[in-house]
Structure 1
Amino acid sequence: MISLKNVSKKFSTKQGTIVAVDDVNLDIKKGEIFGIIGYSGAGKSTMIRLLNGLEKPTSGQIIVNNKEITSINEEKLRQVRQKVSMIFQHFNLLWSRTVAENISFPLEIAGISKVERFARVKELLELVGLDGRGDYYPSQLSGGQKQRVGIARALANRPEVLLCDEATSALDPETTDSILDLLVSINEKLGLTIVLITHEMQVIQKICNRVAVMENGLVVEEGDVLEVFQNPQQAITKRFVSQVSETNQAKQTIQNLGELYPNGKLIKLVFVGDQTEQPILSRLIKQFDLEVNIVQGNISHTKSGAYGTLILQLDGDAKAIDEGIRFIHEQKVNTEVINND
């Protein structure tokens, strides 16, 4: 659906040349929810403007739905943009227009008849959960409702790609979850390809199939969300994963484990997918006659499956402990010995 080949974007300033996107290669599949995550200045906002043709790359190729948008003329680019819609952090609604008129606006521009516009707006209001609010003005809506209007408006012309630029950053956690659930529903019902720009790993965790991590204009890591959670490679990726996989209390506990649990062995287990549902601990206790103390645990759910960490204190015969750890390895659970007593 979307392919970037050696794409770079440079800006000339009085202070010199800024490389916002640096030789990026990405392939985004049709119908998936793809996340691009990075901190401020990483280049992700420039990236999303490249995807809809608002910015031209300095070098490289961008292909959207089999059309290379880096070399086509303005007329053909406008045709491509009709199938690539966007929602924004601050909604960008027309405050003097009603909800229905906001949603209808792109249909008016496209020359759609009034009867067709009315029917499409009604359909979209139901889709985004705003049925009965067509005559409201944006000032009468909550933040989440405003974003639902933005989503409905973006869907008016039946796009094939939806770009989301920090679409939940201005919302509280509960509202964020409801908007993310709506995006998943739209993705499943319409088969829409969604590209989501964010600095929040919780957003990636909840709805994305795959993720690219950006830093200083570079894509430093990419993969299935579950795999990235399981085995982050780069320091920045580990920071993002720790946002949802470890609490501050857990980090402090890990730092002081030697003092808190001086006996036996402390081990850290990483469970992925179906492993989180296996009765490994009960089998460990029964088969090896060990005392097993759960020191700390956490399970995070991604769109592709669950990811969990568990820290255990194993106490008992030294040989039985070693056999128990070997048993856990055989269950294909990543295991790290934190201390050796």
Structure 2
Amino acid sequence: MISIKGLRKVFTSENKELTAVDDLTLDIKEGEIFGVIGYSGAGKSTFIRLLNRLEEPSSGNVVIDKQEITALKANELRTARQDIGMIFQHFNLLWSRTVEDNIAFPLEIAGVPKAERVNRVQELIRLVGLSGREKAYPSQLSGGQKQRVGIARALANNPKVLLCDEATSALDPETTNAILDLLVDINQNLGLTIILITHEMHVIRKICHRVAVMEQGKIVEQGDVLEVFTHPKEKVTKKFVAQVMGSDEHDQSEELYYLIENFKKGKLIRLHFLGETTNQTLISQLAKNFPVDINILQGKITQTQAGGYGTLVIQFSGDSSEIEKAIQFIQKETSVEVEVIKDAK
């Protein structure tokens, strides 16, 4: 659906060059929600503006639905942008226009007849949950309502791609979740490809299928969200995962470090649950089948679009041979990953 090759953007100021996006290559599948995460200054907002040429690339090319965006002339680009909706962190609404007039604006530019515009606007107002607010002005709306207007406006011309530049970072957590739920509904019901830029890992966790991590203008890691959560490779990725999982870059919280240092008996085990395994009654099975004592010390679970991911730290104590049998049972009979943190023999 979207193919990006060798994309680069260099800004020049006072005879100094700043490379904001550096040789970025990426493929995004049709109908997926693809997240791009990075800290401030990573180049992610410049990247997303290069996709519809709100910023002109220094080099490289972008192909969306078999059309090379970077090769289009000005009049061709105006037409192509109708297939690329965009929503912004600070809404970018027209403050002198009502909700329905804001949504109708791109339809006016596209030359859509008035009767058709009216029907389309009402359809979009229902879709984003703004019925009854048609005549309100932006100053009369909450942050979440403003972003719903922004989403409706971005969808006005039935785009194939929706670009979201920090679309929830100006919103409170409850409103953020509501907007993310709306984006998921749009993705599923309209089959829309969504590219979402953020610095918040819980946004990636909640709605994205795949993710790319940006640092200093480059993509340093990418993959399925669940895989990135469970096996982060880069230091920056581990920091983002820690936002959600509550662990530091070495995956050892202060509590766990204390447990390790003071562990004197048996085996200290960390279990990694993926997808459907998060619903398994594993501890109950172990207690019934093996004469060992099991003490649950620490646990965390989170949900992604691809399923759940969780860790559980437990203490096994008792006969060493029975402990080994219990561990072998987990390894052979389940898909739960086992990590022995400490063996206090």
What's the TM-score once normalised by structure 1's chain length?
0.96
Look up the SS of the partner of 1:309 in the other structure.
strand
Q: Distance in 2 between matches of 1:9 and 1:305?
A: 36
Give the deviation of 1:202 after TM superposition: 0.3
Q: How does 1:260-299 map to 2 (within 5 A)?
A: 260-299=262-301
Give the deviation of 1:262 after TM superposition: 2.9
Residue 137 of structure 2 corresponds to 137
Look up the SS of the partner of 1:121 in the other structure.
helix
Q: Distance in 2 between matches of 1:76 and 1:269?
A: 55
Residue 337 of structure 2 corresponds to 334
Q: Distance in 1 between matches of 2:260 and 2:228?
A: 29
Q: How does 1:166-181 map to 2 (within 5 A)?
A: 166-181=166-181
Residue 6 of structure 2 corresponds to 6
Provide Cα deviations, 1:223-280, integer angstroms capped at 9, x if missing partner: 11011111111111111111111268x8221111134543221111111101112222
Letter in 2 for 1:155: L
Provide Cα deviations, 1:182-205, integer angstroms capped at 9, x if missing partner: 000011111111000000000000
Letter in 2 for 1:314: F
Residue 162 of structure 1 corresponds to 162
Look up the SS of the partner of 1:82 in the other structure.
helix
Residue 39 of structure 1 corresponds to 39
Look up the SS of the partner of 1:222 in the other structure.
strand
Residue 82 of structure 2 corresponds to 82
Letter in 2 for 1:270: H
Q: Distance in 2 between matches of 1:252 and 1:299?
A: 18
Give the deviation of 1:53 after TM superposition: 1.3
Letter in 2 for 1:17: E
Give the deviation of 1:106 after TM superposition: 0.8
Look up the SS of the partner of 1:34 in the other structure.
strand
- Aligned-pair identity in percent equals 60
Q: Which runs of 4+ in 1 moved over 6 A?
A: none
The answer to whether residue 79 in structure 2 is matched with residue 68 in structure 1 is no
Q: How does 1:78-157 map to 2 (within 5 A)?
A: 78-157=78-157
Q: Distance in 1 between matches of 2:263 and 2:114?
A: 71
Q: Distance in 1 between matches of 2:283 and 2:215?
A: 39
- Alpha carbons 1:41, 1:216 under 8 Å: kept: yes
Letter in 2 for 1:72: L
Give the deviation of 1:68 after TM superposition: 0.9
Give the deviation of 1:75 after TM superposition: 1.4
Q: How does 1:115-264 map to 2 (within 5 A)?
A: 115-246=115-246, 251-264=253-266
Root-mean-square deviation (CA, aligned residues, Å) is 1.4
Q: Select 2:306's aligned residue among 299, 304, 307.
A: 304
Letter in 2 for 1:128: V
Provide Cα deviations, 1:125-161, integer angstroms capped at 9, x if missing partner: 1000001110111111111011001101111111111
Q: Distance in 2 between matches of 1:181 and 1:62?
A: 29
Letter in 2 for 1:110: A
Letter in 2 for 1:134: E
Letter in 2 for 1:336: E
Letter in 1 for 2:273: F
Q: Distance in 1 between matches of 2:235 and 2:123?
A: 45
Letter in 2 for 1:147: Q
Give the deviation of 1:333 after TM superposition: 2.0
Greater CA drift, 260-269 or 39-48: 260-269
Q: Distance in 1 between matches of 2:281 and 2:50?
A: 48
Q: Distance in 1 between matches of 2:44 and 2:319?
A: 53
Letter in 1 for 2:278: T
What's the TM-score once normalised by structure 2's chain length?
0.95
- Alpha carbons 1:53, 1:81 under 8 Å: kept: no
Q: Distance in 1 between matches of 2:80 and 2:107?
A: 16
Give the deviation of 1:114 after TM superposition: 1.6
Give the deviation of 1:334 after TM superposition: 2.0
Give the deviation of 1:54 after TM superposition: 1.4
Provide Cα deviations, 1:86-128, integer angstroms capped at 9, x if missing partner: 0011111111111111111111111112211111111011000
Provide Cα deviations, 1:60-102, integer angstroms capped at 9, x if missing partner: 2211111111122111111111100100111111111111111
Q: Which runs of 5+ in 2 are unaligned?
A: none
Look up the SS of the partner of 2:70 in the other structure.
coil
Q: Distance in 1 between matches of 2:201 and 2:260?
A: 30
- Alpha carbons 1:298, 1:310 under 8 Å: kept: yes
Give the deviation of 1:322 after TM superposition: 2.1
